[in-house]
Amino acid sequence: MKKLIATHNKIFHADEVTAIALLQIFTDYEIEVERIDHDTNDFSKYDFVIDISKKYDGIKYFDHHQFKGGKSSAGLIWEYLDLSEKYPKISKLIDLVDRNDVGIEKAKPFEFSSLIKCYNTRNLLSEEQNQQFYRAVDFAKNVILSMKDMEEGMIKAKDIINSSFSFNHNPKIIELSEFTPYWTSYINGTTMPFIKAVVWEDEDDNTWKVKVPSKTVGSFELNGKALKQDNNMEFVHSNGHFAIAKDEITMIKYLSKNI
């Protein structure tokens, strides 16, 4: 279903750019955007009117200048989509956009809102400015889509870890039933201190891989002994946090000496 969106022309900000990106990502609508003058009075042909019109009803009109509550048009669209509980990290991003746009907290130089602002040109009524607006929307979409994939991956990771098992009957080593890059959020020295290594089969390159979990999420300090160099292994990282074996038997023999 096609939906026509109106937003203002000239300089653009993270709030309307993000609002449009959210609708493109989280709805099945075929979105078309028209950037129109601030003094436009007739909005009858539009399905959504964002950051313009001097109206807010939470259904069609989303001009946050008429909304008292600390939200920008991005926050109002996010509220309309009603996905804040499902995607809490995206909600934090939207909150940063809101806080910057309504003057509560200025965005730092390399934050999301500041990067979107960089897409503006000096000639605000040029075709180049218009094209830069759509590039900014694409940038916002890429960021939010990545966050969406991560949050959904985090949920799936819980199920994968719950269905995993000890590797070679060693309770200190867990073998993932399926690989997920998000296991590090659940297996570390804080949440599972007894796990000293995580193993999985990489069916894409027909190898077995092992990684030593960190003590805390995001840290470089290992929650176990560093893996040692071994000529029987395909690869062992110099700092000992990661290694690759050509097959399961080689991995069993290697880890029996290391863990």
Q: What is the pLDDT along the chain (259 residues), one digit of tens a residue?
A: 999 999 999 999 999 999 999 999 999 999 999 999 999 999 999 999 999 999 999 999 999 887 677 899 999 999 999 999 999 999 999 999 999 999 999 999 999 999 999 999 999 999 999 999 999 999 999 999 999 999 999 999 999 999 999 999 999 999 999 999 999 999 999 999 999 999 999 999 999 999 999 999 989 999 999 999 999 999 999 999 999 999 999 999 999 998 8
Asked if residue 74 and residue 34 are part of one domain, the reply reads yes
Asked if residue 112 and residue 181 are part of one domain, the reply reads no
Asked if residue 149 and residue 171 are part of one domain, the reply reads no
Element (DSSP H or E) covering residue 112: helix 112-117
Asked if residue 137 and residue 35 are part of one domain, the reply reads yes
pTM: 0.83
| Pair 46, 83: CB distance under 8 Å | no
Asked if residue 45 and residue 133 are part of one domain, the reply reads yes
Asked if residue 69 and residue 44 are part of one domain, the reply reads yes
- Model pLDDT, residue 218: 87
Chosen domain end from 90, 123, 157: 157
| Number of folded domains that form the chain | 2
Chosen domain end from 131, 157, 183: 157
Asked if residue 148 and residue 177 are part of one domain, the reply reads no
Radius of gyration of the chain (CA): 25
Where would I find the beta strands (DSSP E) of the chain? 2-8, 30-36, 48-50, 61-62, 165-167, 170-175, 197-202, 207-211, 235-236, 242-245
- Model pLDDT, residue 242: 97
Burial class (CB in 10 A: 0-12, 13-18, 19+), 36: middle
Count of Cβ atoms closer than 10 Å to residue 228 Cβ: 12
Asked if residue 246 and residue 127 are part of one domain, the reply reads no
Asked if residue 94 and residue 6 are part of one domain, the reply reads yes
- Model pLDDT, residue 145: 98
Q: Which of 104, 84, 80 is nearest to 94 (CA)?
A: 84
Asked if residue 181 and residue 152 are part of one domain, the reply reads no
Asked if residue 169 and residue 85 are part of one domain, the reply reads no
| Pair 76, 82: CB distance under 8 Å | no
Can you give the residue range of the structural domain that contains 215? 163-258
According to DSSP, residue 217 is labeled T
Query: How far apart are alpha carbons 209 and 251 in whole angstroms?
Result: 8
Asked if residue 131 and residue 15 are part of one domain, the reply reads yes
Chosen domain end from 127, 157, 187: 157
How many alpha carbons fall within 13 Å on the CB side of residue 96?
A: 16
3-state SS class at 68: coil
